[in-house]
Amino acid sequence: MGKERVAQLEYSEFQAAMLDEAKRRRKAAKIIAVLGHFLGRGPQAGAGVLDGLTVADIGCSAGFIADELAAAGAARTFGVDIDVPGLRKAAERFGGRVEFVCADGTALPFPDGSLDVLVFNHIYEHVVDPDAVVAEMRRVLADDGVLYLGLGNRLGVMEPHYKLPFLSYLPPGLADRYVRASGRADHYYERFRTRGGLRRMLAGFQVWDYSFPVLASPERFAGAELFPGPAGRLAQGVLARTPRPALRALLPVVPTYLWVATKNGRRPLGPGLPQPPEPVRTP
């Protein structure tokens, strides 16, 4: 058996990536571009992507993504986390335009249906009960609201936190031994799910998959660093022309899924793409 899981308090104190401002802002640009495409909004439409919307970043840590959401025109922006040191840093820098709240994702301090956009980016594997967090986000999301999800896949070959191949495939006890033998941690905390498990986690939502659209059109989704140089551009071109059945065969082992979920069956409103977003079947 693995070590018992408890809430990861003060996550930014031991995970330096949460304080990598440039990287976090690049992630935010991708999130905002995906939301802009789904909503059919953005500079090309003469408006900020989030103009007039109430937005929350669930698992905001030091607040860089929340700050970018506010800059994208949100009428009101919240950053929610249990990471007190991260929230303190965030409030010191961005408290004038973002409201930071210390709260557990299973008990969000918002009325039913009060938020237009929620961001839940690479958080689920860190929380003790992700199903409860997703249910709570569904409660606070407006009927016509949008939920952005960055979701790591258990069957991605390279584990993203410790850069160890097949680490997330292992049961907790063996994963603890592996990460300890590598010298990178004393135990393996994260719990990833397969695509099927993620689909079940999103039961009751209508979901659109932006994973391949972002990879095939990185310049459109602020992801130019995904395919740098001539070789990268060649790979991008190949991906853009790959038939959808071939891409679908790869879906079980895609390392990260970029999904947009709604409660009412909204469809993407953005312009056509070489690889368009596709619906994800949920229970």
- Domain harbouring 137, CATH code: 3.40.50.150
In this structure, is residue 173 part of a structural domain? Answer: no
> What pLDDT, on the 0 to 100 scale, is given for residue 124?
97
Q: 26 and 121 in contact (C-beta within 8 Å)?
A: no
Stretch (H or E) spanning 280:
strand 278-280
> What pLDDT, on the 0 to 100 scale, is given for residue 48?
87
Q: Which amino acid is at 8?
A: Q
Which regions of the chain are under pLDDT 50?
Answer: 1-2, 13, 46
In this structure, is residue 180 part of a structural domain? Answer: no
The range of the structural domain enclosing residue 103 comes to 11-154+192-280
In this structure, is residue 117 part of a structural domain? Answer: yes
> What pLDDT, on the 0 to 100 scale, is given for residue 4?
65
In this structure, is residue 234 part of a structural domain? Answer: yes
**DSSP 8-state symbol, 97:** T
State residue 165 phi and psi, 5-degree precision. -65, 135
> What pLDDT, on the 0 to 100 scale, is given for residue 32?
95
The pTM (predicted TM-score) of the whole model is 0.92
In this structure, is residue 99 part of a structural domain? Answer: yes
Each residue's pLDDT tens digit, 128-175: 999 999 999 999 999 999 999 999 999 999 999 999 999 999 999 999
In this structure, is residue 49 part of a structural domain? Answer: yes
In this structure, is residue 159 part of a structural domain? Answer: no
Cα 116 from Cα 104, distance rounded (Å): 20
How many domains does the chain fold into? Answer: 1
Distances, alpha carbon 85 to alpha carbons 6, 14, 19, 197, in Å: 18, 11, 11, 32
In this structure, is residue 204 part of a structural domain? Answer: yes
